[in-house]
Amino acid sequence: MKNENYKSFSDAELLAKFKRDKNNFWLGVLLERYTLLLLGVSMKYLKNEEEAKDAVQQIFLKVISELQKYDVAYFKTWLYSVCKNHCLMQLRNSKSYNEEIVDNLTASDNEEIDIALEKEKNLIAVEEAIKKLNDDQRLCINMFYLEEKSYKEIIAVTGMDYNTVKTNIQNGKRNLKLFIQRQQNEEN
């Protein structure tokens, strides 16, 4: 697609473009991003490289049809669930099916999914909170934590003095914490 740097788009942005444009290109970018995850999960369950590769292809097809039906908020977590469920169905349908093994896999995976959902929820909360910061705090927080720049580098880029950068980072952290706590209180 024209000189767009689509690889820097978030999962949510790519999903929105896919839904809006009905263009499988956007879904392809998303699936390419998670192909190794799908292969790894499939290998974990199926224990056979060829079967795992086949499963990934089948999951791609399933995702194309399923995304038309559902509004997916957390694509990576949803995709993981689709993959896990597909592999479990493959195991159930195979001759070497062992119910106890599948049940044990399912129990441990539910915990993994819960943890992944919680992490995803926290990341979204932080992203939303960062948007609420004033411009200087947002700039300093992004540069320090997300871009991992030092105070010296931030000073060089922004032209702010040391104390201003330090204050923006400290106040930004405090405000992020307050925004997130307020949001969590509203949800409860």
Domain ranges for the chain: 1-121, 133-188
* Long-range pairs for 36-39: beta carbons < 8 A, 24 or more residues apart: 37/76, 37/79, 37/80, 37/83, 38/79, 38/83
Assess contact for 183 and 129: CB atoms under 8 A: yes
Q: How far is CA 68 from CA 16, 24, 25, 126, 167, in A?
A: 12, 11, 15, 29, 47
Question: Class for domain 133-188, per CATH?
Answer: mainly alpha
Assess contact for 169 and 160: CB atoms under 8 A: no
The pLDDT tens digits for 30-87 are 899 899 989 998 998 888 899 999 999 999 998 888 887 777 778 888 888 889 889 8
Cα–Cα distance for residue pair 166/123, rounded to 1 Å: 24
pLDDT at 145: 82
User: What fold is seen in the domain 1-121?
Assistant: Rna Polymerase Sigma Factor; Chain: A (1.10.1740)
Sign of the CA dihedral with 69 first, then 27, 9, and 178 last: positive
What are 142's two structure tokens?
């992004």
For the chain, the first-to-last Cα distance in angstroms comes to: 43
The pLDDT tens digits for 141-151 are 988 887 788 99
pLDDT at 7: 74
Report which secondary-structure segment, H or E, holds 178.
Answer: helix 162-187
- Evaluate if pTM is beyond 0.75: no
pLDDT at 101: 54
